[in-house]
């Protein structure tokens, strides 16, 4: 078995524990047992359980990035359509990306540090993609933006923090879509978009629930 295969075997074991709600109390020995390898082999690839978790997050988001890049290569999609697809990926993690297990794990852990890691990976992964989308919109003449990269960072940070109920807990079901509606109006005005162009930000069903 190659080093890459064994490393993935460890990550698969951690992910399986997460999906079964067993990861919170799992030890490195438990992860090794689930992976079917010796505990010493774990430490050859990872220094701690937290490092394994980071690698699981990174791996799943690398899959999400690849899916997003495929969308970027679709020449028949305009910039706004691509932004809509990217936004859906942020709020509707597909089963194949295995992010639901992670979201549940983060919720159970109730750890600000883990949430910060999750948000940091989101920002680092999708900022370059959104920057390219904004640049495409500029070339198409559908939007104006003086600082595409910085604007992409701001947009994503506002979206991910608005959607994170661990930072903004409220029983008011209209709070998140209202924030996203305010964001859509702000972006439309600042980038010269037609009113309603970004209404998908607050109309997505999973955002409202």
Residues of the chain with CATH 1.10.10.60: 1-47
pTM: 0.70
Q: What is the mean pLDDT of the chain?
A: 80
Better-predicted residue by pLDDT, 128 or 61: 128
Residue 198 has which token pair? 């970004």
* Tens-place pLDDT, residues 89-127: 776 544 444 455 555 565 555 556 666 776 777 788 789
Architecture of the CATH domain 50-208: Orthogonal Bundle (1.10)
CA-CA distance, 103 to 113, in Å (whole number)?
14
Distance CA 69, CA 183 (A): 25
Residue predicted with more confidence, 156 or 68 = 156
Tens of pLDDT, residue by residue over 160-197, are 777 766 555 566 677 888 888 999 999 999 999 999 99
Residue in 145, 109, 84, 73 with CA at minimum distance from that of residue 101: 109
What CATH number should be reported for the domain whose range is 1-47? 1.10.10.60
């Amino acid at each position: 078995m190659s080093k890459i295969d064994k490393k993935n075997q460890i990550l698969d074991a951690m992910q399986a524990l997460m999906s079964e709600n067993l990861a919170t109390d799992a030890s490195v020995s438990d992860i090794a047992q689930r992976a079917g390898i010796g505990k010493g082999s774990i430490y050859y690839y990872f220094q701690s359980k937290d490092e394994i978790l980071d690698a699981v997050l990174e791996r799943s988001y690398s899959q999400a990035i690849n899916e997003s890049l495929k969308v970027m290569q679709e020449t028949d999609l305009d910039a706004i359509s691509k932004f809509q697809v990217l936004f859906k990926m942020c709020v509707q993690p597909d089963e194949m990306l295995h992010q639901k297990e992670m979201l549940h794990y983060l919720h159970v852990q109730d750890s600000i540090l883990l949430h910060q890691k999750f948000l940091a990976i989101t920002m680092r992964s999708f900022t370059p993609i959104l920057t390219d989308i904004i640049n495409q919109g500029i070339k198409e003449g559908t939007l104006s933006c003086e600082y595409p990269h910085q604007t992409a960072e701001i947009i994503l940070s506002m979206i991910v923090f608005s959607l994170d109920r661990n930072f903004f807990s409220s029983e008011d079901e209209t709070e998140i879509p209202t924030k996203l509606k305010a964001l859509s109006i702000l972006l439309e005005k600042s980038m010269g978009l037609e009113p309603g162009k970004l209404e998908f930000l607050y109309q997505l069903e999973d955002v409202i629930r």
